[in-house]
């Protein structure tokens, strides 16, 4: 679990590079047809179309969120705003890594989606 800016930076460096715009769009469409919705603590707009730059901006947004907003939006998860921030950022990193691998057509990533969203 990442907790510091340097740990976040290290995790960002490990993520696959962005795919092209066309691949980002076709992957988004494919995931939407399967009703793929990542489970975040806080709302994230346009996640399936995010680029790496968008992800970095979203992480910065989360780091700057007001403590009262965090406590209100993640009610029942934690009374500690920093824990909420860390959890949200870890979810963003996890799901973005999966998304990036889907865009690169990594078979194991697609297996994970198909196992979750398709009938046997």
In whole numbers, what is the pLDDT of the chain averaged over residues?
93
Distance CA 89, CA 20 (A): 24
**Domain that includes residue 106, residue range:** 5-117
**Reported pTM:** 0.92
pLDDT digit string, tens, across residues 36-75: 999 999 999 999 999 999 999 999 999 999 999 999 999 8
Distance CA 35, CA 91 (A): 18
Paired tokens of 110: 């697609």
Q: Would you give the DSSP letter of residue 104?
A: T
Distance CA 78, CA 83 (A): 7
Number of domains in the chain: 1
* pLDDT reading at 99 higher than 50: yes
* pLDDT reading at 119 higher than 60: no
Distance CA 120, CA 115 (A): 8
């Amino acid at each position: 679990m990442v907790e510091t800016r340097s740990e976040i930076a290290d995790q960002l460096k490990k993520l696959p590079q962005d795919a092209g715009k066309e691949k980002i769009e076709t992957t988004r469409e494919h995931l939407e047809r399967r009703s793929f919705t990542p489970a975040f603590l806080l709302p994230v707009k346009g996640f399936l179309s995010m680029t790496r730059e968008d992800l970095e901006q979203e992480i910065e947004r989360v780091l700057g969120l007001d403590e009262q907003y965090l406590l209100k939006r993640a009610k029942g998860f934690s009374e500690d705003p920093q824990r909420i921030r860390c959890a949200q950022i870890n979810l963003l990193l996890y799901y973005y890594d999966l998304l990036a691998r889907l865009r690169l057509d990594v078979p194991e990533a697609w297996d994970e989606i198909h196992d979750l969203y398709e009938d046997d």
